[in-house]
Amino acid sequence: MTKTIFITGVSGTIGTILRNALSTTFEVDGIDLNYSTDINLHDMTDLDSCYKFFQNIDVVIDLAARADQYASWSEIYNNNFMATRNAFEAAKMAGVEKFIFASSNHAVGNFESEDPYKSIVVGDYENISPQSFDFISSTCPIRPDGHYGISKALGESIGRYYSDIHGLAVFCLRIGTVRADDTPQNVRQLATFLFQKDLIDLILKCIEAPSDLKFGIYYGVSNNKWRFWDIENAYMDLGYKPQCNAEDFRNTLSR
């Protein structure tokens, strides 16, 4: 039978990419706080009223959030803390099998305040060779760089709880830089970019993951020359092997 996919935050950049790509294979529906003529308009902070959308769903892709590194605490609390918890709870109540949580690289963003990552994101490669340093892995300490990063770290913790206690299969993806035009715009993005082709592949790998895989935190990043996030566990657990390299766009950077 065709799997049913439900995307929260479906009208955003990533939601739009995934909706278009997944609709060719799966039954896809979604919800968003922002108006669109062909999606469900709803506020995820109201659990009782949003629960109905999660019924008869196989996989939830939770993208709904205030995706702003510099957003205020009140903005993050309502749009990220409450909405994220409600998405997990609604999925549990409805008997959803898998939950893909859009975490963020900002959950560990403060590693970029230290070398070698500090130098890489500004393009200072003196005395650094690609992949000659320790990658930031999913087992490294949480180091959020703002309220947004805090909310994503919390979401990972909520996911661990719902996996351990309620048996929900949870995949937390620390997503790098994704753009609608699929083109890196600055030096940092040469390290952090996640091309749409690789994003879609990573999501498909999560959807198709074996049933005994119940929890994981994975970095969503392409095979960039200067990437500094570890994707080894994504390869071992999911078979994720990104094909794109942002270095190919170095000569086209606008700034």
Q: What is the pLDDT of residues 191-222, one digit of tens each?
A: 999 999 999 999 999 999 999 999 999 999 99
What's the rounded mean pLDDT across residues 3-19? Answer: 94
Q: Does position 38 have pLDDT exceeding 60, yes or no?
A: no
What's the rounded mean pLDDT across residues 127-155? Answer: 95
Can you give the pLDDT at residue 255? Answer: 54
Question: What are the sequence ranges of the domains in the chain?
Answer: 4-252
Can you give the pLDDT at residue 11? Answer: 87
Q: How many residues does the chain have?
A: 255
Q: For residue 48, what pLDDT band results from cuts at 50, 70 and 90? A: confident
Q: Does position 9 have pLDDT exceeding 80, yes or no?
A: yes
Can you give the pLDDT at residue 158? Answer: 97
Can you give the pLDDT at residue 45? Answer: 76
Mean pLDDT of the chain: 92
Q: Does position 40 have pLDDT exceeding 80, yes or no?
A: no
The residues pairing with 169 across neighbouring beta strands, listed in sequence order, are 98
CA-to-CA distance for 160 and 217, rounded, in angstroms?
Answer: 10
Can you give the pLDDT at residue 140? Answer: 96
Can you give the pLDDT at residue 36? Answer: 54
Domain 4-252: homologous superfamily in CATH:
NAD(P)-binding Rossmann-like Domain (3.40.50.720)
DSSP structure class, residue 211: T
Can you give the pLDDT at residue 41? Answer: 54
Q: What is the DSSP string of 155-205?
A: HHHHHHHHHHHH--EEEEEEE-B--TT----STTHHHHB--HHHHHHHHHH
141 and 110 in contact (C-beta within 8 Å)?
no
Q: For residue 50, what pLDDT band results from cuts at 50, 70 and 90? A: confident
